[in-house]
Structure 1
Amino acid sequence: MLSVSDAEAIILNLVRPLDQQRDIEIIDLFVADKRIISTPITSKLDFPHWDNSAMDGYAVRYQDVQHSSDAQPTILEIIEEIPAGYQPQCTVKAGQAARIFTGAVMPMGADTVVMQEKTRREENRVFILAAPQPQEFVRHQGAFYQAGQELLPRGVKLNPPEIAVLAAAQCAKLSVYRRPRVAIFSSGDELVTPDQPLQPGQIVDSNQYALAALVKEAGGEPLLLGIIQDNPDALRDAIAYAITHADIVLSSGGVSVGDYDYIDQILESLEAKIHIRSVAISPGKPLTVATFPTSHSPIYFGLPGNPASAMVTFWRFVQPAMKKLSGLATGWEPEFLQVRSHHELKSSGKRETYIWGSLHLIDGVYEFHKAGGSHSPGNLINLAQTNALAVLSVGTTLIAPQAEVKVLHLAFG
């Protein structure tokens, strides 16, 4: 049985990111949110595009106003008013100033802006009541970014700030990696879909819905294959189809040691190499990870059937693999935080234990609050509103209330 860290290392080593020439799409910027750039982006524009004012005030020559004070103001003639979006028509000469507004183009001859609060205006004259610093409140062309340089590198995930940058750079269309395709199926004779009436002994297949949502949250495209009965031929057909149509295959159930757990032997019949069969994690010990001798090398994850186990193993192992596969340059690994535990947390200490709950900001400090109710792997109900998993390492049996605990932060949205 592998440790969690060893299992993670094996999985990430198996992942080959999408190809930066073959696995790309050209999309419109309006639909680029959360996509990942496949080609470094440059712009033909300088930022700022031209010298402009960072303040409402007066554009002046520094040498004219460097000795100004309230007691001895410098008096300048106002020759022009320059709002944003207007091209200046005049050159500021000795003894002159131009009224200017934030974002407006600096006129020729002027090199400094005096904020209006340090001036007094009388008709077409302005009194400069304090000496500015040289080039004060002037944003110079190319000070933020120079045309032709790399604006955003390959492998960046596009969040709202990056979208804004690309819009300003007039990148209306761009090259991104396609979404990873993830085939999902559940196995088990006892499973039914949510629209079917339950018969004694049956269970609603919640895992397929949860995993599809998790795949979409991680930037993937789910391919739903439904419920596959505990029949070796049916399972073999489903897996054979999945590995030819997806980058990652997720199944839930059928990977333990029961009489009807066929997944591992079917994988071997398909010439798969099984890299992981179980991990020292609770919940989620039975975990199969395999690869196939095909050109695009899909990765198979056989997740446990219990709902909590399936979700915990997805968060801990599948999500990082999807991030690396998707072309993301960095940040594949799970995000761990050190926070304060509001509740007492217990573990047997035999396996790395994940306890679900939520983070709360209390008096400026993040606290982990354990979800109420049973923490059985089969209890789906108290997983609702989970946004963090407390992690108790092997050998740790108790975290006292108000003690520090490591948590896996589950960032949604």
Structure 2
Amino acid sequence: MGRRTVDEHAARVAALLGPVLGALGNERLVLADALGRLNADDVIAPIALPPFRNSQMDGYAARAAEVAAAPLVLPVGGVVAAAPATAAVLPLATLLKVMTGAPLPEGADCVVPVEDTAPATGGVRVLAPRTAGEFVREAGSDVQAGALVVAAGVRLAPRHLAALAAVGVAAVAVRRRPRVAVLTTGEEVADPGAPLAPGQIYDANATALRALVAESGGDVVRVVRTGDDPAAFAGALDAAVAQADLVLTCGGISKGDFEVVRQVLEPRGAEVVEVAMQPGGPQATAVVAGVPVIGFPGNPVSTQVSFTVFVRPLLRATAGLPPLEPRTLPLAEAIRSPAGRRQWLRGCVRDGTVVPVSGPGSHLVATMAAADVLLDVPAEVERLAAGDLVAVVPL
């Protein structure tokens, strides 16, 4: 079994996944389904916005020159609603009542807000003068037809979808999400909620990886658990690579007697290596039918740490999600770390310091729920004192 540093194995995983993630292509989605997706192409406005001159206020369309001597009374010649209608024309020395968003009548160059008017015999009293252009939204004042609305590479937020809808775009090309299959193994694991037989534990890895992949911008298309039978795992693997762009496996790659993933993958050219890290030492990589397969250890904390370190950054970048960069914080208490292995301790950020959560064991999945960061302790460091700085990676 080879020995790699964390950075060397991360580079290996990136080399396998990079071409696949870079060749996903695009798909077209209606706006209702495009939230959070990575916009594939520049979207150009097919119309101006607003598409016509309209009133910014409920009030009265007027000619500025005719209300310059306000206060004065002018007759009201009708009402223009914010609705489809034949273009209205403003008669001379007359007002037309307009609603917010209503087309500005031809001849009008300003709007007198209703708050600046009062009822009067023979019409409406205009209480204050207006200048040309006041409370008028000009056509194209938001965006001109032919102008860029949303650029390629933007992760679509609600504000982007609103802008696209406003210019009449109903669907948009987005980067396709990677399809990910999750295969967990082990005779000893059972579905959550099922009764446990003696010697069994519940399968946390399927739930964890499904959630981690979704959070990182991937689509989980298949989740299957097999026991320790190589034929059953091989069948599940073949079905997974037929459907997915990436397969993640849990367990079965160490040095025991029932290492089903290793037994099936090594004859197909897999590399099963020891990475100088804790937790997560055993790691596997393979390509099956052109599909990358990344194998994690079976202990639940090892699985989560391995995904976070090796796969999460690649999926997030593909989805256009911001990178979760490490930061440096002082330790709230001293820690020890085994020499020669890069340690990923669980911790919690409190009052500008990081507090280790529980111990280093790879089985401590319940206590990991209390953590919000991983402490990245270099392989050459055996002890850090309270107050020493340590890199922390957000969970």
- The answer for the alignment partner of 1:299 in structure 2 is 292
Pick aligned residue for 1:355 from 336, 346, 359: 346
- The answer for the alignment partner of 1:125 in structure 2 is 124
- The answer for the alignment partner of 2:373 in structure 1 is 389
Separation (CA, whole Å) in 2 of partners of 1:405 and 1:379: 22
- The answer for the alignment partner of 1:227 in structure 2 is 226
Separation (CA, whole Å) in 2 of partners of 1:42 and 1:336: 33
Separation (CA, whole Å) in 1 of partners of 2:101 and 2:252: 64
- The answer for the alignment partner of 1:160 in structure 2 is 158
- The answer for the alignment partner of 1:60 in structure 2 is 62
The alpha-carbon distance between structure 1 residues 106 and 19, as it changes in their structure 2 partners (threshold 3 A), is: farther
The alpha-carbon distance between structure 1 residues 4 and 109, as it changes in their structure 2 partners (threshold 3 A), is: farther
- The answer for the alignment partner of 2:178 in structure 1 is 180
The alpha-carbon distance between structure 1 residues 372 and 320, as it changes in their structure 2 partners (threshold 3 A), is: closer
The alpha-carbon distance between structure 1 residues 118 and 344, as it changes in their structure 2 partners (threshold 3 A), is: farther
Contact 2:112 2:126 in 1 (8 A): no
Correspondences of 1:317-328 after superposition (within 5 Å):
317-324=310-317, 328=319
Contact 1:88 1:106 in 2 (8 A): no
Separation (CA, whole Å) in 1 of partners of 2:385 and 2:51: 56
Give, in angstroms, the shift of residue 78 of structure 1: 3.8
Contact 2:59 2:112 in 1 (8 A): yes
Letter in 1 for 2:313: P
Separation (CA, whole Å) in 2 of partners of 1:61 and 1:397: 80
Give, in angstroms, the shift of residue 204 of structure 1: 1.9
Correspondences of 1:310-321 after superposition (within 5 Å):
310-321=303-314
Contact 1:336 1:406 in 2 (8 A): no
Correspondences of 1:12-91 after superposition (within 5 Å):
12-13=14-15, 14-15=17-18, 16-17=20-21, 19=23, 24=27, 26-38=28-40, 40-64=42-66, 73=71, 76-85=74-83, 87=85, 90-91=88-89
Pick aligned residue for 2:324 from 328, 335, 338: 335
Separation (CA, whole Å) in 2 of partners of 1:74 and 1:385: 71
Give, in angstroms, the shift of residue 338 of structure 1: 5.2
The alpha-carbon distance between structure 1 residues 146 and 197, as it changes in their structure 2 partners (threshold 3 A), is: same
Give, in angstroms, the shift of residue 308 of structure 1: 1.8
C-alpha deviations, 1:314-347, integer Å up to 9, x for none? Answer: 233323333455xx3x33x632375978954746
Provide the alpha-carbon RMSD of the alignment: 4.0
SS at match of 1:336: coil
Separation (CA, whole Å) in 2 of partners of 1:301 and 1:265: 15
Letter in 2 for 1:389: V
- The answer for the alignment partner of 1:101 in structure 2 is 99
Q: Structure 1: where are the runs of 5+ without partners? A: 361-365
SS at match of 1:245: coil
Separation (CA, whole Å) in 1 of partners of 2:178 and 2:377: 32
The alpha-carbon distance between structure 1 residues 20 and 184, as it changes in their structure 2 partners (threshold 3 A), is: closer
Q: Structure 2: where are the runs of 5+ without partners? A: none
SS at match of 2:310: helix
C-alpha deviations, 1:34-59, integer Å up to 9, x for none? Answer: 44555554453322122222233333
Separation (CA, whole Å) in 1 of partners of 2:241 and 2:220: 15
C-alpha deviations, 1:210-230, integer Å up to 9, x for none? Answer: 22233344341331221231x
Contact 1:59 1:110 in 2 (8 A): yes
- The answer for the alignment partner of 1:363 in structure 2 is none
- The answer for the alignment partner of 1:269 in structure 2 is 267
C-alpha deviations, 1:43-85, integer Å up to 9, x for none? Answer: 53322122222233333334555x66xxx64655543433322
Contact 2:185 2:250 in 1 (8 A): yes
Give, in angstroms, the shift of residue 107 of structure 1: 1.8
Correspondences of 1:129-278 after superposition (within 5 Å):
129=128, 131=130, 134-194=132-192, 196-217=194-215, 218-229=217-228, 231-261=229-259, 263-264=261-262, 266-272=264-270, 274=271, 277-278=273-274
Give, in angstroms, the shift of residue 92 of structure 1: 3.6
SS at match of 1:17: helix
Letter in 1 for 2:47: L
Give, in angstroms, the shift of residue 176 of structure 1: 4.5
The alpha-carbon distance between structure 1 residues 18 and 384, as it changes in their structure 2 partners (threshold 3 A), is: same
Give, in angstroms, the shift of residue 121 of structure 1: 4.7
SS at match of 1:184: strand
SS at match of 2:303: helix
- The answer for the alignment partner of 1:380 in structure 2 is 365
Contact 1:35 1:219 in 2 (8 A): no
% of aligned pairs identical? 30
C-alpha deviations, 1:153-173, integer Å up to 9, x for none? Answer: 445444433443343344444
- Aligned residue pairs, count: 385
The alpha-carbon distance between structure 1 residues 318 and 81, as it changes in their structure 2 partners (threshold 3 A), is: same
Give, in angstroms, the shift of residue 263 of structure 1: 3.9
Moved more, 185-194 or 89-98: 89-98
Give, in angstroms, the shift of residue 259 of structure 1: 4.9
C-alpha deviations, 1:176-234, integer Å up to 9, x for none? Answer: 555432221122333233355434432222211222233344341331221231x5554
The alpha-carbon distance between structure 1 residues 147 and 195, as it changes in their structure 2 partners (threshold 3 A), is: same
Separation (CA, whole Å) in 2 of partners of 1:116 and 1:370: 61
Instruction: Give TM-score scaled by structure 1 length.
Output: 0.74
Contact 1:339 1:368 in 2 (8 A): no
Instruction: Give TM-score scaled by structure 2 length.
Output: 0.77
